[in-house]
Amino acid sequence: MNTPSNTPRPPEVSDRSVGPLRELIWSRLVEFCREPEVIFWVYGFPILMVLALGIAFRERPVEIPRVAIVVNADNGLAVEAAESLLADEGFDATAASERDAAEQLRTARIDLVIVPGMSNEVSFRFDPTRPEAVLARDRAESAMERAAGREDRLHPQDQLVEEPGSRYIDFLIPGLMGLSLMGGGLWGVGFVTVEMRIRGLLKRFLATPMRRWEFLLAVMASRMLFMIPEMLLIVLFSGWLFGVKIYGSVLAVAFLVVLGSTTFAGLGLLAASRARTLETVSGLLNVIMLPMWLGSGVFFARDRYPEAVQPVLRLLPLSALVDAMRGVMLEGLTLLQIWPAVATLLVWGCVSFTVALRVFRWL
């Protein structure tokens, strides 16, 4: 019996490969838009972090050194020089007994204790691990030397530089962008995948002709579509409110956003590939994220850690992403100049997705 000419033909291979992928991405977008609380955590929470940290670490004048001068019955050049600080507007100086001064120094209510002795002897008590205490000590010594008759032979002139790029907020924004990409990739992919497994949705996908790589790629791609607007929102908001600038190529920043999102989505898939409970995947994601939270230089420079651990910290994917983002945004570097960080992200992304593809299970 001949087949009627108007009978629909089976879809081509290309249609079968694109159709499931497109439908899965669309279903994830619709599911995302139906959850207002998720929209807040993706788009609202990063803006609140930028606002709070930007205000907390805004440009402020140098703090006036807080100094306590121990009063005693001795007379001499050191005593006169120390007492001159009480009238110096460049110091928040008060007279105190030795006991009160020690208590204020212990509780960090003051930065420096000055104990003038007989003749020209003077003792400075301070905590050397506190930068403001070291600064107070140096400034107090210089002021007391001038009060004692030292002649300043140089006439320095200050030229203040306030160009964006050297502030803490400029240092912070690339780190927050990397942190958001990591959180969105790991939790937005790993946690959601395990939740779908618990709800039995993956079992239903298994009964369809959809292939495994199509599902994994759709989950990664849908998450990427959420992260790109989030990064754009952070850049625009920080630029509008705090004057943060991008000194390098905007296209290079966009490439790093896509690469970082893909890398962490791959790590999220790997963490969720065999987890069957939310507790298991939550533990795995926290184990992955904690070293990067602490050692990738998001909130403070990574060189605070010992030199022995620096090579390990540089290999973390978040470290590579943050270094690359800061290189492009703050120093105007090109992708070629930051190729080690780009290569690190590519390796992490390719390896994690490949392993997740091999070990992923539907049930």
In this structure, the number of other CB atoms found within 10 A of the CB of residue 181 comes to 31
Asked if 227 contacts 187 with a C-beta cutoff of 8 angstroms, the reply is no
Contacts made by residues 319-323, CB under 8 angstroms, sequence distance 24+: 319/292, 319/295, 320/344, 320/345, 320/348, 321/178, 321/181, 321/182, 321/256, 321/259, 321/260, 321/263, 321/345, 322/174, 322/175, 322/178, 322/296, 322/297, 322/298, 323/297
The residue among 322, 312, 363, 362 whose CA lies nearest residue 342 is 322
* pLDDT of 13: 42
Quickly state the pLDDT bin for 11 (edges 50, 70, 90). very low
Q: Which has the higher per-residue pLDDT, 257 or 205?
A: 257
Enumerate the domain spans of the chain: 20-57+167-359, 66-147
* pLDDT of 326: 92
- What is the chain's mean pLDDT, rounded? 79
- Say yes or no to pLDDT of 4 above 60: no
* pLDDT of 9: 46
- Say yes or no to pLDDT of 261 above 70: yes
Quickly state the pLDDT bin for 341 (edges 50, 70, 90). very high
Q: Which has the higher per-residue pLDDT, 317 or 145?
A: 317
Comparing 144-153, 260-269, 291-300, 323-332, which segment has the lowest mean pLDDT? 144-153
The residue among 175, 158, 142 whose CA lies nearest residue 57 is 175
Quickly state the pLDDT bin for 186 (edges 50, 70, 90). confident
- C-alpha separations of 43 from 9, 75, 229 in Å: 44, 65, 8
| Average pLDDT for 289-308 | 85
Spatial separation of the C-alpha atoms in residues 268 and 274, rounded to whole Å: 11
* pLDDT of 59: 60
| Average pLDDT for 336-359 | 91
* pLDDT of 87: 82
Quickly state the pLDDT bin for 14 (edges 50, 70, 90). very low
pLDDT tens for 305-337 read: 888 888 999 999 999 999 999 999 988 899 999
- Say yes or no to pLDDT of 8 above 60: no
- C-alpha separations of 207 from 21, 201, 211 in Å: 16, 10, 10
Alpha helical stretches, state H, 45-161: 45-56, 77-83, 98-106, 131-147
pLDDT tens for 93-123 read: 888 888 888 888 888 888 888 888 766 778 8
Q: Which CATH number fits domain 66-147: 3.40.1710.10, 3.40.50.2300, 3.90.79.10, 3.40.50.620?
A: 3.40.1710.10
- Whether the full predicted model's pTM is greater than 0.85, yes or no, is no
Spatial separation of the C-alpha atoms in residues 297 and 269, rounded to whole Å: 25
Q: Strand order in 66-70's β-sheet? A: 92-96, 66-70, 112-116, 122-125
Helix (H) or strand (E) holding 125, with range, is strand 122-125
Percent of the residues in the chain that have a pLDDT greater than 70, as a whole number: 77
pLDDT tens for 39-94 read: 666 667 677 777 776 666 666 666 788 888 887 656 566 677 777 888 888 888 88
